[in-house]
Amino acid sequence: MNSFFVMVGSDDTLLFENQVINNGKAASLASVGLSSGMDKADQKDVLTHFVLFSALDVVDEEMWRTQNMFLRKVDKFEEWEVSAFVTAGNIRFLILHDARNDDGIRTFFTRVYDLYMKMALNPFYKLNSPITSPSFAAKVRALADEHL
């Protein structure tokens, strides 16, 4: 499954992102929409962020309708779906993915939440600032390989 994972802070800033692209299908996302002078990679990034951040509005409504942190599928774009997870501190985790895998995504979110909590206890990390720790990135990548 192809996926784009982002963490969005409580003030809607981008904290972290991770992409897993297994096959050429991801390119289809790039071919949709934008036809400006940007190269393929840039277009894809812009479009992914656009789709994910526009899903935030739905997340903000959806989160009040359930007790769960995991919101399942909240939005759709062409054949891509957006699944979301909201932490107690209102950090939003979003995944744009092209195949249904609720269980895997739920486990992935929970494990990343665990990592995030530990990382947030680092006194040098300022809340709601972009996560630059290479070890965090490596661990998230490993989790994505395992569960997505």
Partner 1 sequence: MSSKASLQRTGDSAFKRMDHVSSELFTLTYGSLVLQLIEDFEDYAEVNNQLERMGNNIGQRLIEEFLAKSRVSKCGDFAETCEVIALVGFRMFLGVTGTVSQSAKEPHVCHITLASNPLLDFVELPDEAKGVLQYSNILVGVLKGALEMVQMRVDVEVVHDPLVGDEATELKLTLLEIINDEPPPDDE
Shortest reach from residue 135's CB to partner 1, in Å: 7
Least separation in angstroms between residue 121's CB and partner 1 is: 4
Choose between 72 and 111: whose C-beta lies nearer to partner 1: 111
90 three-class SS: coil
Nearer to partner 1, 87 or 133 (CB): 133
Q: What would the two tokens of residue 49 be?
A: 């962020």
Q: Which two tokens stand for residue 106?
A: 């739920």
Q: Which CB, 12 or 114, lies closer to partner 1?
A: 114
Tell me how crowded residue 138 is: count the other CB atoms within 10 A of its CB.
10
Q: Which is nearer to partner 1, 4 or 16 (CB)?
A: 16
Place of tokens 């692209």: 21
Least distance to partner 1 from the beta carbon of 141, Å?
17
Angle between helices 102-120 and 134-147 (to 10 degrees): 160
At its nearest, how many Å lie between partner 1 and the CB of residue 116?
Answer: 12
Contact residues for partner 1, defined by CB under 8 A: 118-119, 121-125, 133, 135
Pairing verdict, β 3-8 and 14-20:
antiparallel
Closest CA to 97 of 107, 82, 85, 116: 82
